[in-house]
Structure 1
């Protein structure tokens, strides 16, 4: 097995993706997260582009969603939730299968977070829950839905179920709960690299806890 295999995370916004990106970068793993900044690439065609946009451009151009992203080893926060349109590569099996076809050793991860807490965080994150998600078509969340926390929580749980189903029995797939104290050890063992940092990134003040018995401790959010 090569030690340069690609790492693709399939999590949703506000479920701990920023924490994961910081942890991977602190481990010296070149990680693309949401958008490519000038300091990250010399390729002018990538600068300022959302990761999801690049993945779809290259998928339809060459079949390989990572064709122009060879500099990066890990890919996180794939989605782009805009005001007029949304891109959600982590919900597109054809695109994910194309990544695996062109990069057979790719390791896929799914970071999860209690859906109710994640939904609450989305509603408190700018206009994501009030404008961007309810007014665009998102896989599992059609236009007109997502303006209530309960709807967002159902969508988040549905995404987890989708990923679990399509990666059932896959020997290069790891699901982890961002609130699990053992998460960094599990990730490190999975990718063969110890994570020197794990903490809380891109956090917002916590809302009053919902009266739900299975809510887990809020260690991080993104």
Structure 2
């Protein structure tokens, strides 16, 4: 299992596409119909599934282990606000229940990432400041300086909890050697590497483009998990 702890706009969609081209199945912020036979997961946020299974069984990957990798875990919408990659308890539970799991942190310069977030479907200008996000309380995140400080903190958090571990790889998405480093880390060469979901002509955001003040049922709204699956 390959778990990416990267934040939005750090090449998560590129990583997902690269792993799929290498023959691996990935869940990228939500589970699509056809990716699994478990209909209860179709259309559900990856973060929601992780938390549902963690509190039900102690194992966040109880159902998502059918995938070879998770390339982005967060989601932000009127229905849910999930940032598992910032939660030590969930990360530790993954390591405890699945010690063979390999963790990756896709990252880039915090200032550049913050600038990208500010331009990405009102993520920085509107959506993040209106929500409580771990390390970024409601009311903060509306400037590139605030976002960059939050991003830097997350990157240092991941480095600290995996210090000395051979099951962790942090890579700069702008490093030309990144594909080779990832391939060596997971034991499988990546036949493709490029840029996906870039500004400004991206088709679907890693954080859905919805606003809590808008009506429910917008194109990016995801149906909730059935009650029996909670």
Give the TM interval when normalised to the shorter protein: 0.7 to 0.9
C-alpha root-mean-square deviation of aligned residues, in Å?
1.6
User: Could you give the per-residue CA deviations for residues 37-91 of structure 1, whole angstroms, max 9, x where no partner exists?
Assistant: 1021221110110000000000000011111123201011111122465211001
**Which residue does 2:104 correspond to in 1?**
109
Residue of structure 2 aligned with 1:13, choices 8, 21, 39: 8
Aligned residue-pair number: 203
Structure 1: 4+ residue segments shifted above 4 A: none
Per-residue deviation, 1:205? 4.3
TM-score normalized by the length of structure 2: 0.85
Could you tell me which residue of structure 2 aligns to residue 156 of structure 1? 151
- 1:210 maps to none
The 1-side partners of 2:190 and 2:79 are apart by 37
Distance 1:205 1:85 in 2: 25
State the partner residue of 1:98: 93
- Could you tell me whether the CA contact under 8 Å between 2:51 and 2:60 is conserved in 1? yes
- 1:61 alignment counterpart: 56
Unmatched 5+ stretches in structure 1: 1-5, 207-220
Alignment counterpart, residue 27 of structure 1, candidates 18, 22, 28: 22
Match of 1:77 among 58, 69, 72: 72
Alignment of 1:59-208 (within 5 A): 59-83=54-78, 85-205=80-200
Conserved in 1, the CA contact under 8 Å of 2:41 and 2:49?
Answer: yes
Q: CA deviation at 1:128?
A: 1.3
